[in-house]
Chains A and B, each alone.
Chain A
Amino acid sequence: GIQVEQSPPDLILQEGANSTLRCNFSDSVNNLQWFHQNPWGQLINLFYIPSGTKQNGRLSATTVATERYSLLYISSSQTTDSGVYFCAGGNAGGTSYGKLTFGQGTILTVHP
């Protein structure tokens, strides 16, 4: 099956700093999502981004499908950005049924 590697595993920032989180895949995927898990465990959808670049406020993501990686950018970080960030990938078609394989996550801590 697909292996998903996230880096860094932990990240500590001061408020206002920028950061980049990376996700590498062992095989091609055409289903790729980024999530933020809040302190209550809820997974919040950040981006559905099988390819290309998307932006939503201070967050943006880029997926280079041919090189099997995706990046999540957080600019001007705030304390409310703290939590765990997951990427997950899989394949939408055939017998894959959209199943997602998750990375181990990046724990982000933003200090005031």
Chain B
Amino acid sequence: SQTIHQWPATLVQPVGSPLSLECTVEGTSNPNLYWYRQAAGRGLQLLFYSVGIGQISSEVPQNLSASRPQDRQFILSSKKLLLSDSGFYLCAWSLQYNEQFFGPGTRLTVL
């Protein structure tokens, strides 16, 4: 069966520091991958999606970037964190653009 992992689970970083969050999927091939952010405990906002290795699409302009170096690996990065980057980051996967399945998330606090 398929599983999705995210790490770290929690992260506290100072303003201006770099960021790297990792998401990996097991048990499937060529998944579509998505990064979402949840702020203030309510709705999720799509940040990036990827339909293949090296293919990244951004949904909103921001201080973050994404990369997909391997088929089942999706990385969210920043060179310099802002206070407004705090939030709960969730990675998701799907096949054939259908049902999405989410990872456990990373809770990021920028101080």
Is residue B67 contacting chain A, with contact meaning CB distance below 8 A?
no
Number of A residues near B (Cβ < 8 Å) is: 24
B49-70 with Cβ < 8 A to chain A: 49, 51, 57, 59
Is residue A29 contacting chain B, with contact meaning CB distance below 8 A?
no
Is residue A42 contacting chain B, with contact meaning CB distance below 8 A?
yes
A38-80 with Cβ < 8 A to chain B: 40-43, 45, 48
A33 touches B44 (CB 8 A): no
Interface positions of A (Cβ within 8 A of B): 31, 33, 35, 40-43, 45, 48, 84, 86, 88, 92-93, 96-105
Interface positions of B (Cβ within 8 A of A): 32, 34, 36, 38, 41-46, 49, 51, 57, 59, 88, 90, 94, 96-102, 104-105, 107
